[in-house]
Chain A
Amino acid sequence: MKKIKSQLIYNLKKDKGSYISFGIVVLITAIMLNLAFVLLFQVDKAYDDKFNELNTAAINVTVPKLQNTDALLNDIKSLNGVDDAECREAVFAEAVVKDFRATDFSMNTLFYNKDESRNMNKLDIKEEKTGMTENSIYLPLYVASFGEFGLNDEIVYEIGDTKHTFKVSGIVEEMQYGNYGKGLMGAYLPKEVYEKFSDEYSEQTVVEYSIMTNGDINALQNDISDLLEEKGITMLTSCDRISTKDTRTMVCNLIILVLSAFAIIILFVSVFLCKFRISNSIEEDMVNMGVLKALGYTGNMIIAGVVLPYLMVTVFASLLGVAVSYAVLPGLGELLTLQAGFSFGLDFDIKGLICVVAILAVIVLFFTYTAAKRIRKLQPINAIRGNSEGKSAKKNYFPLDETKGKTKLLLVMKQTFSNGKQNILLFGVSFVLTILVAFASTMFYNVIIEPDNFISTLSEEMPQIIVSPVEQYEDVISDELKSNSEIKSVLKYTVGTVNIDDMPVTVFACEDFSRVSNDLCYLGENPDEKNEIALGSAFEEKYKIGDRIEIQNGDIPCSYEVTGFVQSVNYQGNVCEFSLDGYEALNSEKLVPTLYVYLNNASDTEKIIDEIEQSYSDKIVSTMNYQKMTETTQEMYSGITSVIVVVIFILTILIVLFVLYIVIKTLLVQRKQELGIYKAIGYSNKQLMVQMIGSFLPSSVVAVLLSSVLGLIYVPQINQLIFQTIGAMKNNMEVSFAFLMIFAFVQITANLIISILLTKPIKKISAYALIKEG
């Protein structure tokens, strides 16, 4: 053991720089892996724990109070699969929250009596101010934190034309609602405030049924809607555990997926680096090993001397990486809380720790061990003579006396070919490194530089302005706006709801889907004719393209042909698309579509809104600055994503630098004696530098370029995998060839600069010393 120790220390000391860089790459890998593991193991569980703690119902539906009957609760309770149910009153309002993160946010809100006792959907009061006022309100954490409302702040809900100003008296956690993307939120009023409020909105008072089940949620939802239909009761809203969880954890999941993808790619980089580094360091030390063997060391002792330093560095670096990741996790948890609307502490996770250390150690062990196995077969005399397999070339590439061409050029070729194995590994390292760069730079490009690509993947149509015209003026205004030079296009577009298979589904209706800016259709085609429909991804299992579907809205049943499928991450695929005529057919009144206005320059939005409001004051009902709304949405989705992406990007650059450092350093150390000999013969430093760089740069340049070009194929596939998992069947993430090429170029330049920096010290060493050291 003592002998191994001294050998181990020798090995560690010999090449400190390389071990440190290797450790740093392992460290970064461990940080990313642990972040991904902790989130993977804990976010889901934290959600479920909170959900159960608050005894949240699996299904919540609301019906108008006017249609409600006393028997309904028992009817629901007696449905198959219902474990328990309770009901309560609330006021349902299509409200606009003013100054929600500096914009006006339209949000369907259910106002509850906070003081009514509840068994289900309990509220966990996080912060509370003592002493009620006549306009106290308790906000859900999500609205408070993302909308930037604190205790004692005022919040204004605009319902119709009336503005209601409340004072924030408390912040509660609830697990009933999704995030704003679901378009439905709760708000909780103290008893007196609620009573006054519900008197004012008696017509909009609803009864909410909360239903517990351990059975099939979809089946039960169908039974409930059948029951309501039978009784002639309209279902106003419905939310269920699954889709709520999906929306609420969507950004978390996205982050987890991006981190995991990143961690996996880094892991590949580490694997290649490991293989490269270890087989080279054995190569370097062949002679020493032969000497040790000649002295009587056994193969296993020598292998231990080689494997242990790497294993120690790996275990140490991965433990350190896990520790560092815990320094980052609270901040990450806070950012995620903002998205998910419930607070969760991320705890120390022993499972994550074990996974990270085990994965990294096994990889390192595997590569060191397979590479070191050769040591056992090594005949000492061969090692000492430098006759070990791999070190001595098997073939004299480009014999100088027989090959035409300049000797110095041929020497570069010889070096390249006689170091074939090394060049193949170098190719591999450069290739995976470029995958990492391509992935990180594409994320960076789509989230930071062209954020619309990212946002539009997660959202629907995003004009700059939405104009609601007075009936009959829609065509006039549309035509006139189209002729405005600052306006790019105008589209009649309407959002609504219909019940499909007795469930409320969000409708997008448009005069011409070929002109939309964010085509949601991922399969088949958008509807064009009056009798056509495209369904959301939630319906993909139930219907096929070409199927006919009956939809009844009120009295009028209509039949549509399914032309395709569309995605909507916000609504979990519970959407559909109609042509304007097709949607109008379902409405008893004439449909007045809103006008989606697209500007040439988004920064003109406010100015154009003013212009529109002035010129059409009596012909429009309202205008909406959707651009601002988009920006808020963007902030919500990309806030944390950008942080992650920037961090990933920076880490990528670090990894590239460290990996290149290790690789080039390894190459140089290995050729030290060779360089010394060249120097002794009279080769100048410049000649040697050119020769060295010339011999290994081509394979990495080819790898970088090839990998960058292939990035056009594999990066979309990685993105597809990530986005599909969160429900975006089609993503608008763009892989910019120019961007890939820029980074390929940067990587090659870094390669070159590091080579030059590392070859420089060779200049200082005298040929004599260089040979002797070698």
Chain B
Amino acid sequence: MSAMKEVLISAKNLKKEFRTGETSQTIFENLDLDIYKGDFTIIMGASGAGKSTLMYSLSGMDRPTSGSIVFSGKEITKYNDDELAVFKRKNCGFVFQQIYLLEKMSLMDNVLTAGALCSDNKKEVIQRAKELFELVNIPEITQKKFSTQVSGGEAQRAGIVRAVINKPSVVFADEPTGALNSNNSEAVLNVFTKLHREGQSIIMVTHDKKTALRGNRVLYVRDGQIFGDCNLGNYVETDNERERKLDEFLTEMGW
């Protein structure tokens, strides 16, 4: 159905196991998955199903126990730590539920700290940061504040700016609105939609149906597998059809 789309990440035979002392827990096994370029992919599933684990495995943030991941044509499962770090800084941007901004510096500096990794042209990076801050509606005065001095929504929008400053192939977002109230959530999600419309590939984990509607493809994780895969089509603000389709899908999945 997405035959024309270019595959961006391809996972084959993926297995992830956690060992705690004597016991081990298999989160997923024999898992195959393709992620396409330009998609806003949503991952859903019950709590503890392994959504975060899967996403961090795909991004190279965490290593799968076995299996291979080919990302932009590179088999990143074969990379060593340093190669992975270099690959990640160019290809992946991360947005966390807990936001995780560096506490001892301003929002702007948080963004530039990431920006410095991929470009030595400081002026250009600052310029891009300013544009992105404008895009996410953070005025200059707020850019100079510390993460502990701004609202959760502002901090998370700054987190998004940090994630995209290096023009990554994919932005990975793990429940980015999980800690935000509805107004702030809206603002953050609007940023994601804006980015997606500009062609940014995004993978986002969420529990929230309304948030899931922002994506064009919804994956459901259950029993250590991709239990379901639903194509919603691109986000349109007032489209009851998409909402109905998602409801149906989730009911089928046992949500």
Residues on A facing B (Cβ under 8 Å): 385-387, 391-393, 396, 399-401, 406-408, 411, 414-415, 418-419, 673-674, 676-687, 763, 766-769, 771
| Given contacts A399-B108, A400-B113, A766-B63, A771 and B96 within 8 Å (CB-CB) | yes
Binds A, one of B20-28, B42-50, B114-122, B228-236: B114-122
A683 to B94, CA, bound (A): 13
Using Cβ atoms and an 8 Å threshold, which residues of chain A touch B37?
Answer: none
| Given contacts A393-B146, A407-B122, A680 and B61 within 8 Å (CB-CB) | yes
Chain A nearest Cβ from B156, distance in angstroms: 14
Determine the residue in chain A with the shortest Cβ distance to B112: A400
Does chain A have a CB within 8 A of B66?
A: no
6 of the cross-chain contacts (CB-CB < 8 Å) are: A399-B106, A401-B126, A415-B104, A683-B117, A768-B56, A771-B98
Does chain A have a CB within 8 A of B148?
A: yes
Residues on B facing A (Cβ under 8 Å): 56, 61-63, 81-82, 85-86, 88-90, 92, 94, 96, 98, 100-106, 108-109, 112-117, 120, 122, 126, 129, 144, 146, 148-149, 162, 166
Across the interface, A680 reaches (CB within 8 A) one of B100, B120, B129, namely B100
Contact across chains for B148 and A767 when beta carbons are under 8 A apart? no
Using Cβ atoms and an 8 Å threshold, which residues of chain A touch B105?
Answer: 393, 396, 400, 414, 418
Using Cβ atoms and an 8 Å threshold, which residues of chain A touch B103?
Answer: 386, 391-393, 674
A426 to B6, CA, bound (A): 54
A411 to B105, CA, bound (A): 10
| Given contacts A396-B106, A411-B113, A683-B117, A768 and B85 within 8 Å (CB-CB) | no
Contact across chains for B61 and A767 when beta carbons are under 8 A apart? yes
Contact across chains for A682 and B112 when beta carbons are under 8 A apart? no
A203 to B132, CA, bound (A): 111
A387 to B115, CA, bound (A): 26
Chain B nearest Cβ from A72, distance in angstroms: 87
Contact across chains for A682 and B117 when beta carbons are under 8 A apart? yes
Using Cβ atoms and an 8 Å threshold, which residues of chain B touch A683?
Answer: 85, 89, 117
Using Cβ atoms and an 8 Å threshold, which residues of chain B touch A387?
Answer: 148
Contact across chains for B148 and A386 when beta carbons are under 8 A apart? yes
Using Cβ atoms and an 8 Å threshold, which residues of chain B touch A673?
Answer: 100
Contact across chains for A401 and B129 when beta carbons are under 8 A apart? yes
Among B61, B98, B101, chain A packs the most CB atoms within 10 A around the CB of B61
Contact across chains for A396 and B116 when beta carbons are under 8 A apart? no
Using Cβ atoms and an 8 Å threshold, which residues of chain B touch A392?
Answer: 103-104, 146, 148-149
Chain B nearest Cβ from A415, distance in angstroms: 8
Across the interface, A401 reaches (CB within 8 A) one of B62, B82, B108, B117, namely B108
Using Cβ atoms and an 8 Å threshold, which residues of chain A touch B94?
Answer: 680-681
A407 to B89, CA, bound (A): 16
Q: A411-B116, A767-B62 are in contact. List 10 more A-B contacts (CB 8 A).
A: A399-B108, A407-B113, A414-B105, A680-B61, A682-B114, A684-B86, A766-B61, A766-B62, A771-B96, A771-B100
A386 to B94, CA, bound (A): 21
Contact across chains for B112 and A401 when beta carbons are under 8 A apart? yes
Chain A nearest Cβ from B247, distance in angstroms: 32
Contact across chains for B82 and A400 when beta carbons are under 8 A apart? no
Determine the residue in chain A with the shortest Cβ distance to B85: A684
Determine the residue in chain A with the shortest Cβ distance to B82: A684
Chain A contact residues: helix, strand, loop or mixed: helix
A680 to B102, CA, bound (A): 12
Using Cβ atoms and an 8 Å threshold, which residues of chain A touch B117?
Answer: 681-683
Chain B nearest Cβ from A404, distance in angstroms: 9
Among A385, A396, A415, A685, chain B packs the most CB atoms within 10 A around the CB of A396
Using Cβ atoms and an 8 Å threshold, which residues of chain A touch B106?
Answer: 396, 399
Across the interface, A685 reaches (CB within 8 A) one of B81, B88, B89, namely B81
Using Cβ atoms and an 8 Å threshold, which residues of chain A touch B148?
Answer: 385-387, 392
Contact across chains for A685 and B82 when beta carbons are under 8 A apart? yes
Chain B nearest Cβ from A407, distance in angstroms: 3
Chain A nearest Cβ from B39, distance in angstroms: 22
Contact across chains for B85 and A679 when beta carbons are under 8 A apart? yes
Chain B nearest Cβ from A760, distance in angstroms: 11
Determine the residue in chain B with the shortest Cβ distance to A685: B81
Across the interface, B109 reaches (CB within 8 A) one of A400, A687, A767, A768, namely A400
Chain B nearest Cβ from A575, distance in angstroms: 66
Using Cβ atoms and an 8 Å threshold, which residues of chain B touch A408?
Answer: 116
Contact across chains for A418 and B63 when beta carbons are under 8 A apart? no
Using Cβ atoms and an 8 Å threshold, which residues of chain A touch B56?
Answer: 766, 768
Determine the residue in chain A with the shortest Cβ distance to B52: A768
Determine the residue in chain B with the shortest Cβ distance to A767: B61
A399 to B115, CA, bound (A): 14
Using Cβ atoms and an 8 Å threshold, which residues of chain B touch A396?
Answer: 105-106, 109, 144, 146
Using Cβ atoms and an 8 Å threshold, which residues of chain A touch B166?
Answer: 682
Chain A nearest Cβ from B158, distance in angstroms: 13
Using Cβ atoms and an 8 Å threshold, which residues of chain A touch B90?
Answer: 682
Using Cβ atoms and an 8 Å threshold, which residues of chain A touch B129?
Answer: 401
| Given contacts A386-B148, A401-B109, A677 and B102 within 8 Å (CB-CB) | yes
A396 to B90, CA, bound (A): 27
Contact across chains for A769 and B62 when beta carbons are under 8 A apart? yes
Using Cβ atoms and an 8 Å threshold, which residues of chain A touch B144?
Answer: 396, 399
A624 to B146, CA, bound (A): 81
Using Cβ atoms and an 8 Å threshold, which residues of chain A touch B85?
Answer: 679, 682-685, 687
Using Cβ atoms and an 8 Å threshold, which residues of chain A touch B126?
Answer: 401
A680 to B61, CA, bound (A): 7
Chain B nearest Cβ from A691, distance in angstroms: 10
Among B56, B96, B103, B104, chain A packs the most CB atoms within 10 A around the CB of B104
Contact across chains for B88 and A682 when beta carbons are under 8 A apart? yes
Determine the residue in chain A with the shortest Cβ distance to B55: A768
Chain A nearest Cβ from B51, distance in angstroms: 13
Contact across chains for A681 and B113 when beta carbons are under 8 A apart? yes
A393 to B162, CA, bound (A): 20
Chain A nearest Cβ from B133, distance in angstroms: 11
Contact across chains for A407 and B62 when beta carbons are under 8 A apart? no
Using Cβ atoms and an 8 Å threshold, which residues of chain A touch B62?
Answer: 766-769
Determine the residue in chain B with the shortest Cβ distance to A394: B146
Using Cβ atoms and an 8 Å threshold, which residues of chain A touch B86?
Answer: 682, 684
A407 to B123, CA, bound (A): 11
A231 to B239, CA, bound (A): 132
Determine the residue in chain B with the shortest Cβ distance to A680: B94
Chain B nearest Cβ from A412, distance in angstroms: 12
Contact across chains for A681 and B162 when beta carbons are under 8 A apart? yes
Chain B nearest Cβ from A446, distance in angstroms: 46
A681 to B86, CA, bound (A): 10
Chain B nearest Cβ from A771, distance in angstroms: 6
Using Cβ atoms and an 8 Å threshold, which residues of chain A touch B88?
Answer: 682
Among A401, A414, A686, A763, chain B packs the most CB atoms within 10 A around the CB of A401
A400 to B162, CA, bound (A): 14
Chain B nearest Cβ from A420, distance in angstroms: 10
Chain A nearest Cβ from B13, distance in angstroms: 21
Determine the residue in chain A with the shortest Cβ distance to B94: A680
Chain B nearest Cβ from A613, distance in angstroms: 76
A676 to B101, CA, bound (A): 11
Across the interface, B81 reaches (CB within 8 A) one of A400, A407, A763, A768, namely A763
Using Cβ atoms and an 8 Å threshold, which residues of chain B touch A687?
Answer: 85
| Given contacts A393-B146, A677-B100, A682 and B89 within 8 Å (CB-CB) | yes
A676 to B98, CA, bound (A): 13
A387 to B147, CA, bound (A): 10
Using Cβ atoms and an 8 Å threshold, which residues of chain B touch A393?
Answer: 103-105, 146
Chain B nearest Cβ from A474, distance in angstroms: 80
Chain A nearest Cβ from B112, distance in angstroms: 4
Report the 6 A-B pairs with minimum CB-CB distance, sorted nearest first.
A682-B89, A407-B116, A684-B85, A418-B104, A400-B112, A768-B62
A673 to B100, CA, bound (A): 8
Using Cβ atoms and an 8 Å threshold, which residues of chain B touch A680?
Answer: 61, 94, 96, 100
Determine the residue in chain B with the shortest Cβ distance to A674: B102
Chain B nearest Cβ from A618, distance in angstroms: 86
Contact across chains for A682 and B92 when beta carbons are under 8 A apart? yes
Using Cβ atoms and an 8 Å threshold, which residues of chain A touch B102?
Answer: 674, 677-678
Chain A nearest Cβ from B162, distance in angstroms: 7
Using Cβ atoms and an 8 Å threshold, which residues of chain B touch A414?
Answer: 104-105, 109
